[in-house]
């Protein structure tokens, strides 16, 4: 069935180090892959997205890579800072039904 799997569920990294979160999806027709960040007590907010016609996209300290053949995409955060601590969600659209399926989330802790 339609599914988006996200790993790991929890990730702790030392401040200044890099963090990587990975997702796989099942619908080979998907062509848009957003990442959302959710801070405590707030709704998720888009931080970066990638469309299937490119393999990588960067925005300052964050980047997303996409491997359509393997049906997986990853979020990379470099030079992590305390404000990066949050829950991160990947998502992929299920084109047949005009809806987006979210991964279960990764809680990222930045250690001082």
Partner 1 sequence: NAGVTQTPKFRVLKTGQSMTLLCAQDMNHEYMYWYRQDPGMGLRLIHYSVGEGTTAKGEVPDGYNVSRLKKQNFLLGLESAAPSQTSVYFCASSYILGADQETQYFGPGTRLLVL
Smallest gap from residue 66 Cβ to partner 1 (A): 13
| Identity of the residue, 51 or 79, whose beta carbon is nearer to partner 1 in the bound complex | 51
Return d(Cα 16, Cα 38) in angstroms, integer. 21
Do the Cβ atoms of 73 and 66 come closer than 8 Å? yes
3-state secondary structure 73-99: EEEEECCCCHHHCEEEEEEEEEHHHCE
The contact pattern for partner 1, residues 40-79, with x = CB under 8 A and - = no contact, is -xxxxxx--x-x----------------------------
Instruction: Answer yes or no whether residue 8 interacts with partner 1 by CB under 8 A.
Output: no
Smallest gap from residue 110 Cβ to partner 1 (A): 21
Return d(Cα 87, Cα 95) in angstroms, integer. 25
Smallest gap from residue 45 Cβ to partner 1 (A): 7
Size of the site for partner 1 (CB under 8 A): 26
Return d(Cα 19, Cα 59) in angstroms, integer. 15
| Identity of the residue, 53 or 60, whose beta carbon is nearer to partner 1 in the bound complex | 53
Return d(Cα 106, Cα 52) in angstroms, integer. 23
The residues binding partner 1 (CB under 8 A) are: 6, 9, 31-32, 34, 36, 41-46, 49, 51, 89, 93, 95, 97-105
């Amino acid at each position: 069935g339609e599914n988006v799997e996200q790993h790991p569920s929890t990730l702790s990294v030392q401040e200044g180090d890099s963090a990587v979160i990975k997702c796989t999806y099942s619908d080979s027709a998907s062509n848009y892959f957003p990442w959302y960040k959710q801070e405590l007590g707030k709704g998720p907010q888009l931080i970066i997205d990638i469309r299937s016609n490119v393999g990588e996209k960067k925005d300052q300290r964050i980047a997303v890579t996409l491997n359509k053949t393997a049906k997986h995409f990853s979020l990379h955060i470099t030079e992590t800072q305390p404000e990066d601590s949050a829950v991160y969600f990947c998502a992929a659209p299920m084109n047949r039904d005009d809806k987006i399926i979210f991964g279960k989330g990764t809680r990222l802790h930045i250690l001082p």
